[in-house]
Homo-oligomer: A and B are copies of this chain.
Amino acid sequence: MRDSSPPKPIALIAASAPPRTKPSNYPEPFFTRMSRREKRPLGDLFGLKNFGVNLTRLMPGNQSALLHRHSKQDEFVYVLEGEPTLITDQGECTRSPGMCAGFPAQGVAHQLVNRTDRDVVYLEIGDRTAGDEGTYPCDDLQASLGAEGRWIFTHKDGRPY
């Protein structure tokens, strides 16, 4: 084993995993747009280091993230329940369970939005390549990944929020 912490589980029911308690550190007015999403980190529970896997629930009216792209990290989502709208800077379309989408680093900007009156549940996977940056084409925001894996958000001219 790579660490000396207590033994990790080998398998579990994903929906029973504890929700993330540390909220996003998106500054306002952006934070509120993502306030009704619930992320259950799954990969961390097993001690995975190279990529993260979340079971994420988007309540009606909420969104996965601001429209964004990563500079170095890839992302993948697989829809388990509900019908999210996938918005990219090339257009938008509705997704159903069994559909998946992938967003390579430096690819299209993207976000999932729940415009229905039912919850949307999906798996999201992202790697942890260091030195990643987030670009937000529609908002006065930019992000860089800090040494501790926490995003540092600023205005586009570099001023802190």
Interface residues in chain A, defined as those with a beta carbon under 8 Å from any beta carbon in chain B: 1-2, 8, 10-15, 42-43, 45-51, 53, 73-74, 76, 78, 86, 88, 90, 93, 95, 98-108, 110, 123, 125, 127, 129
Contacts and interface: CB of A to CB of B under 8 A. Distances in A.
Contact of A47 (B11, B12, B102): B102
Contacts of A8: 102, 104, 107
Given A76-B48, A106-B2, A99 B11 contact: yes
Identical copies in the complex: 2
Contacts of A98: 13-15
B127 A51 contact: yes
Contact of A129 (B14, B50, B74, B90): B50
Contacts of A104: 1-2, 8, 46-49
Given A43-B74, A74-B51, A102-B48, A10 B95 contact: no
A3 to B, nearest CB: 9
A76 B108 contact: no
Chain B CB within 10 Å — which of A2, A47, A53, A102 has the most?
A102
21 contacts: A1-B104, A2-B105, A8-B104, A8-B107, A10-B90, A10-B101, A10-B102, A11-B100, A12-B99, A12-B100, A12-B101, A42-B76, A42-B100, A42-B102, A46-B102, A46-B103, A47-B104, A48-B76, A49-B104, A123-B123, A125-B125
